[in-house]
Chain A
Amino acid sequence: MNKLAEVIHSRSNPDLPGELLPPDAEIDRYLELFGAQLLGVVPFNQRYRLRNEAAFHLERLRDDLIAEGHDRREAVRRAIVAYGPAEQLAEQYIKSWFEKSAGGVLAKRLGKGNAIAFVAFALAELICVGLFYGRIFVPVESVFRYTVDPTVFPASTLNAVPIPDSSLFFAVLATVVLVAPILAGAWVGAKVPIHPMRAVYHGLLPCILYSFVSGVLVLPSRELLLFALVQLVYWLPVSLAVAHFARLHVRALRIGKELSA
């Protein structure tokens, strides 16, 4: 049970012993828990509709179970079990609501969350790899052979470039490499309301693989191999953490905005 669910759970269980609460209080608690999972993610009109549908469904189930001979408290308990766990259903709904709103071919093929993450990290990858290519190819005056296709690199003409060096170019490159996963992770966290960390993992992995293959092809220059290593040990954990916290932050902002409206 997450933090929000715990708060709802504790607030909806006052000091009264459970058996003194009216039997239908369990339905209210369930609906609060269900609604809380959707708050700050799904728009109000959707939440209103889902909550009403769940309430109607649970009440009908309860009434049918009472008609079968169960006492009211037991009927409520069984109705909730038959309807399904609130957190799981809310997650399933958010997933379906988010993924099915995918527009482009890439989003439909990969899943909307994965597509967003892939675009974010592919953009970061392109910028970083472009800068690395500049650093590798400019000194040997073969910058005009610049290409994103790693199979056409003139690897034999390259020399190892000292790492680090004291140039402004290297400072810019290092800054971009350090900041890129934070920005990309934050973007994914803000845009993907469900499992953003999973999306980051799926979006970043092909980029790491591309850096590694490119790195092997431009040996003896070690730049891109080191970059692949940095992506694995720095980009991946940092962007996972940033995506997680960005999602929580964006959700809290939306809740605050909704409450103050």
Chain B
Amino acid sequence: MSSSPLDPVLTANFLRGNTAIIVLAILRDGPAHGYAIGSEIARRSEHTLEFKQGTLYPILHELERDGSICSEWEIPNGDRPRRVYTITESGQRELERRMEAWQRFNAAMIRVTAVRLDEQTG
């Protein structure tokens, strides 16, 4: 099943600052190259989160500089070399920290917007 993509501007605004969580969450399940990460985001979000896939690489390189992930070349027989990313222990901790903050933020947003909905319908 696939949902329709969100408005691209809204998606970009929502994703700003949160793409790192998404990438770390994908890598928590195992090493992957950039293309696999992009495909997995599309699959898990049921194509709701659509963004230019090239924007993943600045984020991956940033996370690597921060020490949250590491990477190495994988050279399959006769195929183009690809860079495979793996989450580090510090990345795991960073993901947990960000997830906790995100869950609290998300819960607060739901509470706040639910009150507004009640006011409008009540």
A positions within 8 Å CB-CB of B: 46, 49-50, 52-57, 59-61, 82-85, 88-89, 92-93, 95-97, 100-101
Interface-lining segment among B23-31, B56-64, B102-110: B56-64
- The answer to the question of B121 belonging to the interface, with a C-beta cut-off of 8 Å to chain A, is no
User: What are 10 pairs between A and B in contact, CB < 8 Å?
Assistant: A46-B61, A49-B83, A50-B57, A55-B80, A56-B81, A61-B53, A83-B53, A96-B59, A97-B61, A100-B62
Q: Which bucket holds chain B's interface residue count?
A: 10 to 19
Instruction: Flag if B61 contacts A82 (CB, 8 Å).
Output: no
With A61-B35, A96-B62, A100-B62 as contacts: A56 and B82 at CB distance below 8 Å: yes
- Whether B61 lies near A83 (C-beta < 8 A) is no
CA distance A61 to B38 in the complex (A): 10
Give the distance to chain A from B27, nearest Cβ to Cβ, in Å.
15
Partner of B57, one of A54, A59, A95: A54
**A interface footprint on B41-82 (CB within 8 Å = 1, 0 otherwise):** 000000000001111011101100110000000000000111
Contact of A84 among B35, B55, B82 (CB under 8 A): B55
Does the CB pair B34–A96 fall under 8 Å?
A: no
A91 to chain B, nearest CB (A): 10
Majority-rule SS of A interface residues: helix
Closest to A30 in B: B54
Contacts of B62 in A (CB 8 A): 96, 100
Q: Is the CB of A92 within 8 A of B58?
A: yes
Q: Are A56 and B57 in contact (CB under 8 A)?
A: no
Choose one: A84, A95, A97, A100; the contact of B54 (CB below 8 Å): A84
Taking CB as reference atom, which chain B residue is nearest A92? B58
Q: Are B61 and A56 in contact (CB under 8 A)?
A: no
The residue of chain B having its C-beta at the shortest distance from the C-beta of A85 within the complex is: B52
- Determine the distance from Cα of A89 to Cα of B55 in the docked complex, in whole angstroms: 6
A52 near B52 with CB under 8 A, answer: no
Whether B81 pairs with A89 at a CB distance below 8 angstroms is no
Distance between Cα atoms of A18 and B82 in the complex (Å): 30
